[in-house]
């Protein structure tokens, strides 16, 4: 799949024309827990995956390794129930706020970001009162 041959989809054309896809026709999609703000995972969506996500209430992604659509939790039971979907200001990323059931990461962790925290200098903003 490349940007010149985006598969046909029932995605609203007004949304489809705004999307900025990568060379494979995909847009990164961040899943975030709707009530806590916890960032859960990154997946990839093409037009059809976004259409399915918008119309079914369940997150659907495109698996780059298996080259097929997958509904999060369809086999694992670790489902994502859609609460809202938004495009960023450039329409090159999708934010899906979800109600996550169980682990979001394929490793069994709650999120994909809790196992490999890197050492970093912590920045502090200047005191606004000075």
Residues annotated in a binding site for Mg(2+)? 88, 90, 92
Q: Is residue 7 one of the residues assigned to a domain?
A: no
Q: In this structure, is residue 123 part of a structural domain? A: no
Domain assignment present for residue 59? The answer is yes
| Structural domain of 35 | 25-100
Residue 129 lies in a domain: no
Within-domain flag for 50? yes
User: What pLDDT shows up at residue 21?
Assistant: 97
| Least trusted range by pLDDT, from 12-16, 42-46, 81-85, 116-120 | 116-120
User: 108 lies in a domain?
Assistant: no
Which residues are part of a known binding site for Zn(2+)?
Answer: 89, 105, 112
Q: How many domains does the chain have?
A: 1
Q: Is residue 47 part of a domain?
A: yes
Is 14 within a domain? no
CATH number at residue 92: 3.10.20.810
Grade residue 130 by pLDDT with cuts at 50, 70 and 90. Answer: low
DSSP string, 44-79: EE-HHHHHHHHHHSB-EEEETTTTEEEETTTTTS--
Q: Is residue 27 exposed (0-12), middle (13-18) or buried (19+ Cβ within 10 Å)? A: buried
Laid out side by side, the sheet with 39-45 consists of 39-45, 27-33, 94-100, 80-87
Q: What is the pLDDT of residue 8?
A: 78
Binding site: residue ranges?
A: 88-90, 92, 105, 112
52-96: per-residue pLDDT in tens?
999 999 999 999 999 999 999 998 999 999 999 999 999 999 999
The shares of helix, strand and coil residues in the chain, as percent rounded to the nearest 5, are 15, 30, 60
- Tell me if 94 sits within 8 A of 30, measured CB to CB: yes
């Amino acid at each position: 799949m490349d940007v010149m041959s985006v598969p046909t989809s029932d995605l609203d054309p007004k949304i489809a024309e705004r999307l900025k896809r990568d060379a494979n026709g995909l847009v990164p999609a961040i899943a975030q827990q709707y009530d806590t703000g916890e960032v859960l995972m990154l997946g990839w969506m093409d037009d059809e995956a976004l259409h399915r996500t918008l119309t079914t209430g369940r997150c659907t992604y495109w698996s780059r390794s298996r080259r097929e659509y997958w509904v999060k939790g369809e086999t694992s039971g670790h489902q994502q129930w859609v609460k809202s979907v938004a495009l960023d200001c450039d329409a090159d990323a999708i934010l899906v706020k979800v109600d996550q059931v169980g682990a979001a990461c394929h490793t069994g962790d709650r999120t994909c970001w809790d196992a490999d925290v890197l050492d970093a200098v912590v920045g502090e903003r200047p005191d606004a009162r000075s």
